[in-house]
Structure 1
């Protein structure tokens, strides 16, 4: 929240509604910020001792923060944690049989699985805890955007599948259009 901008606009004479509309925040939030600012000014004007002046100044200047350390998890329950641990164990077993390759279970896939099983949990929460399970090094990705029809990407790789109890190696060709999220894939035997 941009407390400074709200207070600055208020001091310039803008109305609460105008500030809320311009900044895209709720009018009641603007009212609350401005009311606290006015209280701070009144406390500063009425303070007589040096300690009172210091306390009133700190109340005006310091930004407020919320203590979220005692907040309970509402969506990441023990049941969700248990299921994510099961999925991680299944992933480790699969990696032993098939080897680690581009077939790894991602946080997106785990989120989809949990949603289909009836858990109400957000992707960011799943990604946070899945990253802790995987304990892999941090990577950086830069989002790129292209106009439609501008770029086509091709990838070719091995895919190991277990069919009728036997692990077999197949070859996968994938064409991708990043602008439209269109994928085309073909599986080869040799």
Structure 2
């Protein structure tokens, strides 16, 4: 069986093509993708300006979907049929940054759609512990915005911004 996927073959060249249906490992979930965002890093991959991307690459890391098959390590509040969003930052859990809770600085970090194939495909596998249930009141097409929102929240947290502080935002992203 095959599924459609969005590839960037090389800078400036995008195509949709058929790929093999993904085979789930025990510690992964199988997800039917229902929404995905296009990020500045996807634009960088298309333009050839993101030095971390290798080609050809299935893009997409701002992704939601429905759990088709469960996996070991899946959060207790999630079951088959639930809508989920993926955490696209696959960390090792063993290096020093991971051991002190800085998984975003993992020495072996793999970002889907950048270092490894992403989720702009009809069905995808993902580490079971890196999915989060989407609340019923959040539409699937809006849920992928959670990933860029967390980037902004992380920046605010690191800047120690408090209510009433003044600041400036510069740039348009990507």
Task: Establish whether TM, by shorter chain, passes 0.5.
Answer: no
Question: Scaled by the length of structure 2, what TM-score is found?
Answer: 0.20
Q: Which of the pair is proportionally richer in helix? A: 1
Question: Scaled by the length of structure 1, what TM-score is found?
Answer: 0.19
Q: Which has the higher contact order (CA 8 A, sep 6+)?
A: 2
Q: Which of the pair is proportionally richer in strand? A: 2
